[in-house]
Chains A and B, each alone.
Chain A
Amino acid sequence: MANNDMITVQEKVPFWLDPKKRGLIYQLFILFLVGCLAYYLISNTLINLERQSIATGLGFLHNESAFEIGESLISYSAASSYGRALIVGALNTLKVSFIGIIITLLLGTILGIARLSSNWLVSKLASIYIEVMQDIPILLQLFFWYAIFYETLPSPQQALCPITGLFLCNRGVAFTVPAAHPAHKYMILALFVGCGVVYLVRRWAKKRQEKTGQIFPVLRFGIGIIIGLPLITWLAFDAPMKMDIPKLIGFNFKGGMTLSPEFIAILLGLILYTAAFVAEVVRAGIQSVSKGQREAAMSIGLRPAPILNLVILPQALRVIIPPLTSQMLNLTKNSSLAVAIGYPDFVSVANTTINQTGQSVEGIALIMALYLIFSLSTSAFMNWYNKRVALVER
């Protein structure tokens, strides 16, 4: 009986008063509008492209690029395809971001700690640095470093030589590196093996400490293994000492390793700018751990190093890591500004490709796709990390 009543009541409700049905209608309407807009834009684009007789699709990637790229991690020439040119660009983006991120983390952490230093002078200087760098657009900083490089440094003939084997000139920085030797490959391998061993030992030490309470000096052991294994490999190959020293031949340096002014300007700009933000993140993270935590740890008799390791850092890192990854992502995104000073990153190469082929839609879609891959994988990592370190509330 009651059931019957309910049904009759429900039947009486007209569909525009039922929130569920109404919501469905709203959504269909909005999707319809978005679809119409998309159809309008796409059809216009197709008509316009046809009028300019530009083929659509990614077929152009196989065509010969016919432009040179200043620096490349893989072999590349003007005869290579556009696809290969774009790969070179993507690798250059990765190179500058990777090196930039490592140095930024170091510099940013130092600055963040300096900002909290009890030394008034150091703390004030760090905060001035952070404030000034955050308030000047990164593009302006890039132009500034690039101009400094070009206007202040002499030509290769009068290159500055502050240390033997290091040359500074307006064509870049040339420095001495060990001459190529088969030992290097094995040394890198040894480094990786060392990292793996340290990881396993750390896990074992943690388990043992949880079971028996005995502490194993992981840090000292780890540093020893990571430095020691490559060193032993190096000695096993009779310690090759030959160095590759850059020499001035004609108008430029040959040999050794040369970093282009563009690379240095973008790297310097990215590092100095992002480090200011990283410093703020680190400072906030350290300050987020309440004073009571340190006092409690001291009262149970822990020494300063274990306090930092076991009490402060695990809590601070939980606060630091999420904004830190977004800063690293910002650094990668800002590396796209390389196009303004002529470092051949992905955006720069894609831009040249667009100018040459007219494949603007595909070119910009590729740029967006690459950066989306970076950001989506970063946020996937973040979700994983957040789940791993999330506080287990009881």
Chain B
Amino acid sequence: MEEALATQTEELKPPLTTVGVIGWTKNNLFNAWFNSILTIVTLYLLWKIIPPLLQWAFIDSLWHTSGKECRETAGACWSIIYTNFRFIIFGFFPYEQQWRPLLAMFLLFSLFFYSRDRNHWKKPLGYAWIVGLFTMGLLMKGGLFGLTPVESTQWGGLPLTLLLSVFGLTAAYPLGIILALGRQSKMLGVKWLCIIYIELIRGVPLISLLFMSSIIFPLFLPEGITINKILRAQAAIILFTAAYIAEVVRGGLQGMSRGQYEAAESMGLNYYLTMRLVILPQALKIVIPPTVSILISAFKDTSLVVIIALWDLLKTTQSVLSNPEWMGFSREAYIFIAILYFLGCFSMSNYSRKLEKELSAGEQQ
């Protein structure tokens, strides 16, 4: 009896056209007349676009030549990246000292990499980040332990971009939490101050704050005191990011049930302890994925400092492009920068999606 059943199921294999490559193609590309037309049109367009693009980017392209030879080829001129690589990445940082920003970036990436795993999220990791950020600042600035001091006016390129976004988010986070708590506060004066600040900042474009940092901040200070340009831009980015973080954190706070507050109160905890021990640890956990997306947009938004003439990644690239030898190869240069930004943002957004899945899986248990 059992044998008979087994042979029966074997005999009843699905028809060839519904499994394997043919079945997949039929189900996913040609399952209706409209979809079939769509597939054919798309394939035709891809055929028209992809091969010439590959030809341009890889086959006809030049990699290690001078600008002059580049002008005679039909392909891409990646030589612009190869020749100016160190300037694009490090800007005006003294040539012999460029191992320092490189080491700082390496430190940052390893910290990021180590923090990916949720099992590592313990107190030591926080200390590691504080020490790491401090070391990065020291590596950039120098002046201690026999490192030659490097003026911040010489900072540039990728390290500056990373510095502005990572330090910006780190400093903006506590400020954002305070603003969010203030907005939830029962004290009307505090509440309205926070609401006005958050809505004001969220209502204006970052560029207006950057203009403010470069033009108005110097006016705010008494005569004789000046703050350098990078710090002022950093302040603008912090003020800007804090408002967005405040809204994200507020979302987390509103997600807390009333019972949590009441339980904390019934144990006799005061406001500070309630927030510190009960509410914030839970609320901040909920908002980790949206915080990562704020980090992504902070990373992208730092590119705006080019408008107030800071030497970030985009500005160093543009300065290479204004060199007569390399004029006219914007496409290659911008594509290279775009790939750098894409890799950074894509890995972060991928991670945020993974994290979101993990956290929500935890909720469902």
Measured between alpha carbons, how far is A27 from B218 in the docked complex, in Å? 30
Asked if A372 is at the interface of the complex by the 8 Å CB criterion, the answer is yes
Q: In the assembled complex, how far is the CB of residue A372 from the closest CB belonging to chain B, in whole angstroms?
A: 5
Q: Is the CB of A354 within 8 A of B215?
A: yes
Chain B contacts of A34 at CB under 8 A?
A: 193
Kindly state the separation between the CA atoms of A34 and B187 in the bound complex, as whole angstroms. 15
B127-149 vs A, CB cutoff 8 Å, 1 = contact: the mask equals: 00000000000000000000000
Residue contact A334 to B205, C-beta cutoff 8 Å: yes
CB distance from A129 to the nearest CB of B (A): 12
- Indicate if the CB atoms of A132 and B314 lie closer than 8 Å: no
B229 within 8 A of A: no
Residues in chain B near residue A361, CB distance under 8 A: 216, 219
Q: A295 near B: Cβ within 8 Å?
A: no
| A192 contacts B by Cβ under 8 Å | no
Is B211 on the interface with A (CB-CB < 8 A)?
A: yes
Contacts of A201 in B (CB 8 A): none
A337 CB, min distance to chain B CBs, angstroms: 7
Separation in Å of the B36 CB from the closest CB of chain A?
Answer: 9
Determine whether B275 belongs to the interface, using a CB cutoff of 8 Å to chain A: no
Q: Are B219 and A371 in contact (CB under 8 A)?
A: no
B307 touches A (CB below 8 Å): yes
Tell me if A337 and B222 are in contact (CB < 8 A): no
Whether B216 and A23, one on each chain, are in contact in the complex, defined by CB atoms closer than 8 angstroms, is no
**B200 with A120: CB separation less than 8 A:** no
A residues 361-379 near B (Cβ < 8 Å) are 361, 364, 367-368, 371-372, 374-376, 379
Task: Determine whether the beta carbon of B38 is less than 8 Å from that of A151.
Answer: no
B208 touching A367, Cβ below 8 Å:
yes
- On chain B, the residues within 8 Å of A337 by CB distance are 205, 207, 304, 307
B260 on the interface (CB 8 Å rule)? no
Find B223's partner among A47, A150, A375 (CB 8 Å cutoff).
A47
B301 within 8 A of partner (CB): yes
The majority secondary structure among interface residues of chain B is: helix
B341 within 8 Å of A (CB atoms): yes
A118–B207 Cα gap in the complex (Å)? 41
Among residues of A, the one whose C-beta sits closest to the C-beta of B189 is A27
Interface assignment of A77: CB less than 8 Å from any CB of chain B: no
Encode contact with B along A21-36: 1 for CB under 8 Å, 0 otherwise.
0010011101100100
Whether A347 contacts B207 by the Cβ 8 Å rule is yes
Q: How far is the CA of A67 from the CA of B31 in the complex (A)?
A: 61
Cα A143 to Cα B318 with chains together (Å): 9
CA distance A44 to B222 in the complex (A): 6
Asked if A121 is at the interface (CB within 8 A of a chain B CB), the reply is yes
Chain A residues with Cβ under 8 A from B207's Cβ? 336-337, 339, 347
Q: Please classify the interface of chain A as helix (H, G, I), strand (E, B), loop, or mixed, using the class held by over half of its residues.
A: helix
> Closest chain B residue to A332 by CB distance?
B205
Please provide the chain B residues from 307 to 332 with a CB less than 8 Å away from any CB of chain A in the complex: 307, 314, 318, 328, 330-331
Cβ-defined contact, A360 with B314, below 8 A: no
Q: Which of B59-67, B83-91, B102-110, B342-350 contacts the other chain?
A: B342-350
Cross-chain contact B331 with A135 (CB below 8 angstroms):
no
Asked if A360 and B215 make an inter-chain contact with CB atoms under 8 angstroms apart, the answer reads yes
Q: A144-B330, A336-B205 are in contact. Are A23 and B28 (CB under 8 A)?
A: no
Interface size class for chain B? 35 or more
What residue of chain B has the Cβ atom nearest to residue A31's Cβ?
A: B189
- In chain B, positions 266-308 with a C-beta closer than 8 Å to chain A are 296, 300-301, 303-304, 306-307
Is A48 in contact with chain B by the CB < 8 A criterion?
Answer: yes
B304:A139 contact, CB within 8 angstroms: yes
Given A135-B342, A139-B306, A364 contacting B212 (CB threshold 8 A): yes
B356, chain A: closest CB distance, angstroms? 13
A45 at the interface (CB under 8 A from B): yes
Interface flag for B202 (CB, 8 Å):
yes
Residues of B within 8 A of A339 (CB): 207, 307
Assess whether A118 is in contact with B338, with CB atoms less than 8 Å apart. Answer: no
Kindly report which residue of chain B lies nearest to residue A360, judged by CB atoms.
B215
Residues of A within 8 A of B300 (CB): 135-138
Using A34-B193, A118-B28, A122-B38 as known contacts, say yes or no to A137 and B303 having CB atoms under 8 A apart.
yes
Is A2 part of the binding interface, using a Cβ–Cβ cutoff of 8 Å?
no
Q: Are B203 and A48 in contact (CB under 8 A)?
A: no
Tell me if A106 is interfacial: C-beta within 8 Å of chain B: no
Which one of B306, B344, B345 lies within 8 Å of A340 (CB-CB)? B306
Q: How far is the CA of A138 from the CA of B307 in the complex (A)?
A: 13
Neighbour of A119 across the interface among B29, B186, B220, CB < 8 A: B29
A143 touches B341 (CB 8 A): no
Which residues of A sit under 8 angstroms from B216, Cβ to Cβ? 45, 360-361, 364
Chain A CB within 8 A of B190 CB? yes
CB distance from A110 to the nearest CB of B (A): 12
A and B contact pairs by CB, cutoff 8 A, 16 listed:
A23-B186, A30-B190, A49-B219, A118-B31, A135-B342, A137-B301, A139-B304, A139-B306, A139-B307, A144-B330, A339-B207, A340-B307, A347-B205, A360-B219, A364-B208, A372-B203
Given contacts A44-B219, A140-B314, A371-B203, 8 further A-B contacts (CB under 8 A): A23-B186, A31-B189, A121-B29, A132-B342, A144-B330, A144-B334, A334-B205, A375-B203
